[in-house]
Structure 1
């Protein structure tokens, strides 16, 4: 097999549509893989699409057609040689021509395409390859007119074309509809036969033997000189052990099984190590020495499933790895950049490391994005992060008629096979919120009996997973009641399967997370703005306010700012300045989400997972993300790290009173002294009790504090503190807006240290949620800890990593060294 990449020398031009004069008639260099927006940005013909209100200036590109062209040299095929032109991904509605002859048309960015071009290249020499892209929006509108409208969120009919749904805009994403050759393109020269598909099904036998059952599909060239082809030999090697099979003439598939006795098990992070084994598959002509083709991947030996066996409550949804139930601590994942070709492996490593740094063990690849890349999965394999992969369906009713049914089948088959080797892949999910949408969002009345996607979720996709990847669990939707729609229960029923909790954020205060005890909460979240450095890099309104034009363009949620303000109102004083509003909304976001997580974790094993919406952003925006569009950690990230910590103390209501819940997500018992103390903000101890803490491995215990600890003498000025080895919890008896905080309880000094600065802080009075917002001083600055409660008399050092040379005193300024106290106005005492 000889591969010749075709990435250099492409040219791009607009061919139709409302093209501005400064772009019309221009031909610019095109990067492949790449996209139109990035090429025009590089050529100076576009403003940066993320900057200020540039998104509004680029609407014309939605209805523009484009042409990519490449002149290249290719030798004529040799005797018996097949030559294929391979596109791994085209975004999206494209016609491919070679030397003016149409090879084919495409309308699906989620799959690849292969064209036999041996006859076209027969003369060798110079050739021209062209790929013409139609407006995906206009194509989708045409399909909608032909098949009939199906309800969807947001204005554009993204459900009518197999393209990344959030490319058309979302409540956290821009409406910048990409087009381009977004994955590699190459010529492949081969003879006799090639490996068309390699699909390893990796399991572990009861005796600990690792088993790799390798399914191989072979394509024969048809140029061997005999109708039956030639006998072939396949080998598969893992850990020095080899399986071998002969494929008789005329056959096109085989299965090889390689066993590895005593294989080291792959575990999710926090539960063990992540050993990976090299798997190599080689194809030869029988009796020949030189390989015809080869395939290599890394695999991990583990078993993974989801326990949904009915119990006395309903239907659990518990991820089980190597026969061990796992509490899922996760986040939803969206494409890490709206322009997918800018996402490098290094960027994915940083992002997944941020997830692991917040004690996460699962990322859910949401259905409005893409089937994630092998780089993403490789990184998750290495870090021990489980992946829940949605099929790309989200928040819409999808037609099941042609041409969509065949496209969905083709993309699903290709991607299930492509991802099957990754040990991090834990489960497949049919769609996001579509069964819920059919139940509650008025779809039946609008559909009038037309198809809406149920056949995909309950027939096509589960049958493909059962055929091609039977080692993994399939869920029809999220949220999903495994008995629905047969049993008539709601898809979002808290006692069955997965649940999304969006009353909080949309309508209810975050304390209402406690109204439900889901079996598994796969979406919940709360908004906050990006970090100050990210915000001010991309938005330049003067003055900058929550209602300024560019700021509002980067707030995509319906009534987003109103929900932010209403979400703060019961808890925090009304901010007086934009800087205070920025800090307060970030703080409230972190508190709201941590509140939900602590509630969910306190109910293990009844509740078996919390997957927050969302880890990351695809551009600089006010959103639910913990990591903003420039990759900076928002306060929420620190809140997640606290709430997902392996050992957690949390005060929760049970049976009409407050109790202390201790959560131990370690394989070792958690033992030590537990100190419960009620003290004044000024540090006077009013009541204290010492108890023994003994929490078994991977379990939750409950302690009922004496009423004297729960009954304040002055609720405005007292705090309950629970301290144990590795964990602390504080409980306030009123909301912040009602508390008599010292508004300036901190004294601090910053000094230079290798790699950055150390900020030494001392509290003269109780200070809640102490933070150093270091990015306000240097854009690259990152602090090691944030949202720390400090008791009167306590000292704490924060380390800031930065390459910038700054005045250390800037790190102790009032807009950098922050706490909840500084938001508070003086309180009239009872």
Structure 2
């Protein structure tokens, strides 16, 4: 059996003539932080003070054999040194002899070190120096940011983004190990998992490596899944095993069914039996090598058929057409070696709690750790996986082309066992950039990545993983016959609204699939206090500006607020609240409109779920893991049943009541419509008994007797059904005659530990977008609700965890709502 030793301890990092203790996995920044030699780059403006780290070369050393890693070497024919991830340009030597060099963060590396020991040195060049050398060879390429990430196969957002800091890392960011083995080992397994007529098939395409001594030795491979077993003799370096499993349980996205997973085990043994004689199955401990994964059985199609509206983009899982309720994912830490399986589970559970069913891994980040995809398999979160290209023209010459192909081949095979993985995507915004960002003239015929997205990558996917669809980019209309970001064809990125317009303009069109759109807001107040200690917080205070990376980000935030509210002057708390309200409303406006237009629109992927540090951004979960009001709003608008009021589609001032039912059962809905005066009196009331069929949308015009007059500043419409509420206010908030909000609060302890309380709010007037910010009560407190609108006489109960000892005055100070202009 193969013997494996992880090399986590005993590493040193050279720094100015000294040797620091180093941890693997890790990076230079984490080691320098642990030694107290650099400040935390997340705090204040410290990012500027640690910029030098990314511009230096660094050397890690380890004495191989000193801690017993080679103790069992004599019992095996071969010893390999394996690096699962090196960031990025490195030269590796052992005992003074070079083993090799690397230039790709997104690959693993293996070196034969049989019979060798001594000082292991891993020398990392500055990523800037490596990028400069490649640029000198390939020539310049345009880029949306002034950093050279397109010349190096490294996490692009290490070099900063419009939501991230510039923290250019180096180090062994994934595990390092020593492997001892004999005769043969399993090098690659491609499980092709299919379903037909209720029966599942797992076809294992297995590649091997043999030692010189084992070159001609007969081998046998055995595989098992769900009680089905098979075996095959191996005479060369490859073998295929097929397991047919009757009556499999299907894996479904969350909200559509369960997520049964099946353990697959493959073992490789010597086959010393005479030809033609069947031997008993060897004991597991006699295996030369073992491969284990979990798989799920489901059918998958991406319907891109043309229709009367253009070209569709609809996921079909197990024959069920799916409206995707998605979020974009960026690396959860700019120092990705710090992301643990527990942190993945926390963040992805937060996604699931918001009724999200798809996570898109964006192309400027990383292929995430196996734990990420394992958790998505369990939670029923579909995964859209970008290949790692974003917002830049990428040279296609060597040495990059060979690295791109090797990286793609390794990661396609590594990730293909996961049933959650539903699509491979070639790039983020590069096809769009070529057409609209003045690249074409600048390039003057030079390569820019098209050969990757329309040639190399689809070829690799078709060869290695034919069970999944591939799309060339996001956005992408399907061919050059249409503009790459044409809303009527394929995927669409909606950024004009955030950049230049009011969020109500999301209703101006019905894209076929919105794979990016979003609106900014600052992080939670407790996160700001942690990040900017001692700062007198203001939208334009030094730390706030440093933690706002978007171009004119604060200007766009302020204009977004001003279109609907009076912009607070000198009141940071009020500004903070209103930016949160606008973010939640903006995203909800887009999703409600696009869900109301299913099946023409077949999905939305919000930019973005998470942050890689504390920052003002488009995220629903801030850089310290706190939920913004947007997270609660996603839970509402992504629920199976959505009640919304939408502008009519007949070109008049009509309003439509929409019931979007994504559930498997018909929605028998008793809807109450009330025409209300701003002062709280009832003008008209109407009850409707409606049925929204499963997986369908019901739309009908609101009867005129309950519809407020166009442009009225004193009337509004409320729709209620099954605990859901929708509002239609004819004018913007700053023009509406809101009363001074009045409400009472009571605090009720839940349980005996006084750590959990119910905050009971009783409204005396209309209270619009009431928000309890729990982190203002205690830094780690959480609330079970976000924005709430109460009519006069109504009451709501908000459960708060982590509020031990909080009294009514403290809680009242954490409550905000819309006020008259």
Pick the TM interval, shorter chain.
over 0.9
Per-residue deviation at 1:106? Answer: 0.4
Per-residue deviation at 1:363? Answer: 0.2
State the partner residue of 1:210.
200
Aligned 8 A contact 1:10 1:68 in 2: yes
Q: Single out whichever of 637-646 and 178-187 deviates more from structure 2.
A: 637-646
Q: Distance in 2 between matches of 1:790 and 1:235?
A: 64
Change over 3 Å in CA distance of 1:714–1:408 after alignment to 2 = closer
State the partner residue of 2:253.
268
Per-residue deviation at 1:79? Answer: 6.4
Per-residue deviation at 1:706? Answer: 1.3
State the partner residue of 1:616.
610
Per-residue deviation at 1:76? Answer: 7.3
Q: Distance in 2 between matches of 1:134 and 1:733?
A: 60
State the partner residue of 1:124.
none
Per-residue deviation at 1:84? Answer: 0.6
State the partner residue of 1:809.
808
Per-residue deviation at 1:773? Answer: 0.4
Per-residue deviation at 1:26? Answer: 2.6
Q: Single out whichever of 737-746 and 581-590 deviates more from structure 2.
A: 737-746
Q: Distance in 2 between matches of 1:77 and 1:374?
A: 29
State the partner residue of 1:570.
563
Aligned 8 A contact 1:81 1:190 in 2: yes
Q: Distance in 1 between matches of 2:384 and 2:723?
A: 30
Secondary structure at the residue paired with 2:310?
Answer: coil
Matched, 1:153 2:138: no
Secondary structure at the residue paired with 2:689?
Answer: strand
Per-residue deviation at 1:741? Answer: 1.6
Listed one character per residue, the Cα deviations across residues 333-373 of structure 1 (whole Å, up to 9, x for unaligned) are: 00011111111111111111111111100000000001111
Aligned 8 A contact 1:646 1:664 in 2: yes
Listed one character per residue, the Cα deviations across residues 615-634 of structure 1 (whole Å, up to 9, x for unaligned) are: 00000000000000000000
Aligned residue runs from structure 1 range 31-430, under 5 A: 31-73=23-65, 74-75=70-71, 77-78=73-74, 81-121=77-117, 127-205=118-196, 207-224=197-214, 228-248=215-235, 251-287=236-272, 289=282, 290-430=286-426
Change over 3 Å in CA distance of 1:142–1:676 after alignment to 2 = same
Aligned 8 A contact 2:777 2:811 in 1: no
Aligned 8 A contact 1:647 1:726 in 2: no
Listed one character per residue, the Cα deviations across residues 758-777 of structure 1 (whole Å, up to 9, x for unaligned) are: 10001111111111101011
Per-residue deviation at 1:806? Answer: 2.6
Per-residue deviation at 1:708? Answer: 2.3
Q: Distance in 2 between matches of 1:385 and 1:232?
A: 39
Q: Distance in 2 between matches of 1:72 and 1:253?
A: 32
Q: Distance in 1 between matches of 2:259 and 2:772?
A: 34
Aligned 8 A contact 2:54 2:170 in 1: no
Q: Distance in 2 between matches of 1:585 and 1:238?
A: 52
Listed one character per residue, the Cα deviations across residues 180-224 of structure 1 (whole Å, up to 9, x for unaligned) are: 10011111111110000011111111x200111111111111223
State the partner residue of 1:694.
691
Per-residue deviation at 1:120? Answer: 2.4
Matched, 1:750 2:750: no
Q: Distance in 2 between matches of 1:359 and 1:768?
A: 24
Aligned 8 A contact 2:535 2:543 in 1: no
Aligned 8 A contact 2:494 2:517 in 1: yes
* Equivalent residue for 1:606, pick from 600, 610, 615: 600
Q: Distance in 1 between matches of 2:240 and 2:812?
A: 66
Aligned 8 A contact 2:669 2:692 in 1: no
Secondary structure at the residue paired with 2:365?
Answer: coil
Matched, 1:667 2:664: yes
Aligned 8 A contact 2:475 2:493 in 1: yes
State the partner residue of 1:732.
729
TM-score when scaled to structure 2? 0.96
State the partner residue of 1:819.
817
Per-residue deviation at 1:813? Answer: 2.1
Aligned 8 A contact 1:216 1:255 in 2: yes
State the partner residue of 1:28.
20
Matched, 1:587 2:573: no
Aligned 8 A contact 1:752 1:808 in 2: no
Secondary structure at the residue paired with 1:813?
Answer: helix
Matched, 1:678 2:671: no
Q: Distance in 1 between matches of 2:779 and 2:156?
A: 32
TM-score when scaled to structure 1? 0.95
Q: Distance in 1 between matches of 2:526 and 2:73?
A: 55
Per-residue deviation at 1:716? Answer: 2.3
Aligned residue runs from structure 1 range 472-483, under 5 A: 472-482=468-478
Listed one character per residue, the Cα deviations across residues 59-88 of structure 1 (whole Å, up to 9, x for unaligned) are: 111211100001132247436611111000
Q: Distance in 1 between matches of 2:21 and 2:395?
A: 38
Matched, 1:514 2:507: yes
Q: Distance in 1 between matches of 2:502 and 2:786?
A: 24
Per-residue deviation at 1:255? Answer: 1.1
Listed one character per residue, the Cα deviations across residues 527-566 of structure 1 (whole Å, up to 9, x for unaligned) are: 0000000011001353211111111111000000000011
State the partner residue of 1:2.
3
Per-residue deviation at 1:714? Answer: 8.8
Per-residue deviation at 1:745? Answer: 2.2
> Unaligned 5+ residue runs, structure 2?
274-281
* Equivalent residue for 1:635, pick from 629, 635, 657: 629
Secondary structure at the residue paired with 1:188?
Answer: strand
Aligned 8 A contact 1:811 1:817 in 2: no
Change over 3 Å in CA distance of 1:99–1:216 after alignment to 2 = same
